[in-house]
Amino acid sequence: MKFLHALTQTAALLSLGLSVEGKFNRARNEACKPKHPFHPLPPSPPRKRTCHVPSNGDGTDDAHHVLSTLRKCNNGGKIVFDEDKEYTIGTAMDMTFLRHVDLEILGTIKFSNDTDYWQENSFRHGFQNATTFFQLGGVDVNVYGGGTLDGNGQVWYDLFHEEALTLRPILVGIIGLKGGTIGPLKLRYSPQWYQLVANSTDVLFDGIDISGYSSSENEAKNTDGWDTYRSSNIVIQNSVVNNGDDCVSFKPNSTDIIVQNMHCNGSHGISVGSLGQYKGEVDIVKNILVYNISMYNASDMARIKVWPGVASAMSEDLQGGGGLGAVSNITYDKMYIDNVDWAIEVTQCYGQKNQTLCNQFPSNLTISDVHIKNMWGTTSGKRDPNVGTIVCSSPDVCKDIHVSNIDVTSPSGTDDYICTNVDESLLDVNCSSG
């Protein structure tokens, strides 16, 4: 059944991809091929033994089974989460000791709904108060099998509605992993971001299927697909994301990253940032390639969000500004959009509604060498007559932003852009507003 479902989904994706490709071929007469990682991924020798993870099977905590099986089969083994078994995890698991090990997840791993325990014990990563149910790291770790990780998010969506400072765990914490592949896997009902990739290098994500909606009136918020942080040489590809926040987000010190062949629905786009949130800190995001993306029902496609040069508060859980750093060598290439509010959104006034204040205190975080090209489709019309906005806080901190071959209109046929403090001669769009 699961296999059949996967096949059907692949077929659906393929037909979608082919139509995307056909359109681009007609538009550009140029082949659309997957891109290679910035640096080759290290080899992963075959595993020599297999261990199965027992489960209590009664909803009580299985974390000790997982950790003891990992210790038994670490250094060259494969551990299997059996099909048709549900594993309950009620303890924060530190899995950063892994070496040359595979986790084959066939069944379901579900995190307990004990919000008091998790707020007290989940792993804290400092940046944006991020916490994770577990942390998985080490050297040469592959996680696959097509099974499910379920974050039991509903109880968190409801609690967050009551208390904005609730520390909601991230479903998957890839922390300090050097070499590995993640996927295929299904990720469901994350309390907030689905995946944090921090302090990691040489990791390939392939075939991640993300979905999970709230069944109450309290929305599932901040459900980013991926957030990369202090990480390099990461590939994210061939994945389907149904969520309500960034499909993929490049947070501080994300370098040499490829995101390709993605189907994103309901998201806030593929975002650089937000950056510059923390006063005096230096955030670097460079060498990013976003390629062959289909974006549906989203607020944005290509997005770069930078806080202003001075600290400000937008709301209780969203405050910051005054950071330093640079965004450079960013390419968005081959994108199809449908019902997206902004095809392109570049701002140096993130987290702040007062543009006068942003211009008075220009961002200390520069944006340069940005290439956004080959996009077609239709916006939602929400920003009519505009379909894009490229607003810098000063021309001194925004250079070499190139936009070309964009065939995007609103449902009513308009195609205007707000362009401020930016070299319009490099933008092959109608900068008629702003």
Ligand X SMILES: *[C@@H]1O[C@H](CO)[C@@H](O)[C@H](O)[C@H]1NC(C)=O
Q: For residue 52, indicate whether it is catalytic.
A: no
Question: At CA 367, angle to CA 173 and CA 406, rounded to 5?
Answer: 95
Nearer to ligand X by C-beta: 74 or 231? 231
Q: Which of residues 243-302 bind ligand X (CB under 6 A)?
A: 252-253, 261-263, 265-266, 282, 284, 287, 289, 292, 294, 296-297
CA 174 to chain centre: 13
Q: DSSP for 199-257, please give it.
A: S-EEEEEESEEEE---SSSS---S--SEEEESEEEEEEEEEEEE-SS-SEEE-SSEEEE
Nearer to ligand X by C-beta: 78 or 417? 417
Size of the site for ligand X (CB under 6 A): 53
Q: How far is the CB of 296 from ligand X (least distance, A)?
A: 4
CA-nearest of 170, 220, 223, 222 to 197 is: 170
Quickly count: other Cβ atoms within 10 Å of residue 428's Cβ.
12
| Site map (CB under 6 A) of ligand X, residues 32-61, x = contact | xxx------------------------x--
Regarding 7 and contact with ligand X (CB under 6 A), the answer is: no
Quickly count: other Cβ atoms within 10 Å of residue 161's Cβ.
15
Exactly one of 85, 186, 188, 230 binds ligand X (CB under 6 A); which one? 230
Among all residues, whose Cβ is closest to ligand X? 17
Regarding 405 and contact with ligand X (CB under 6 A), the answer is: no
CA-nearest of 335, 296, 433 to 24 is: 335
Nearer to ligand X by C-beta: 52 or 368? 368
Q: How far is the CB of 262 from ligand X (least distance, A)?
A: 6
Strand partners, 173: 196
Q: How far is the CB of 106 from ligand X (least distance, A)?
A: 22
Regarding 91 and contact with ligand X (CB under 6 A), the answer is: no
Regarding 181 and contact with ligand X (CB under 6 A), the answer is: no
Regarding 306 and contact with ligand X (CB under 6 A), the answer is: no
Catalytic residue among 52, 268, 371, 402: 268
Regarding 113 and contact with ligand X (CB under 6 A), the answer is: yes
Contact 225, 247 (CB under 8 A): yes
Q: How far is the CB of 70 from ligand X (least distance, A)?
A: 20
- What does the block give as tokens for 138? 């080490």
Q: Which residues, other chains included, contact 180 with Cβ-Cβ below 8 Å and sequence gap of 6+? A: 44, 140, 141, 142, 143, 174, 202, 203, 204
Contact 198, 175 (CB under 8 A): yes
Q: Which residues, other chains included, contact 94 with Cβ-Cβ below 8 Å and sequence gap of 6+? A: 123, 134, 135
Q: How far is the CB of 76 from ligand X (least distance, A)?
A: 26
Regarding 426 and contact with ligand X (CB under 6 A), the answer is: no
Nearer to ligand X by C-beta: 79 or 374? 374
- What does the block give as tokens for 313? 């508060």
Q: How far is the CB of 431 from ligand X (least distance, A)?
A: 9
- What does the block give as tokens for 294? 């289909």
Q: Looking at the annotation, which residues are catalytic?
A: 268
Chain contacts with ligand X (rule: CB under 6 A): 13-14, 16-17, 20-21, 32-34, 59, 113, 125, 129, 155, 165, 175, 198-199, 211, 230, 242, 252-253, 261-263, 265-266, 282, 284, 287, 289, 292, 294, 296-297, 309-310, 317, 324, 329, 331, 354, 356-357, 360-362, 364, 415, 428-430
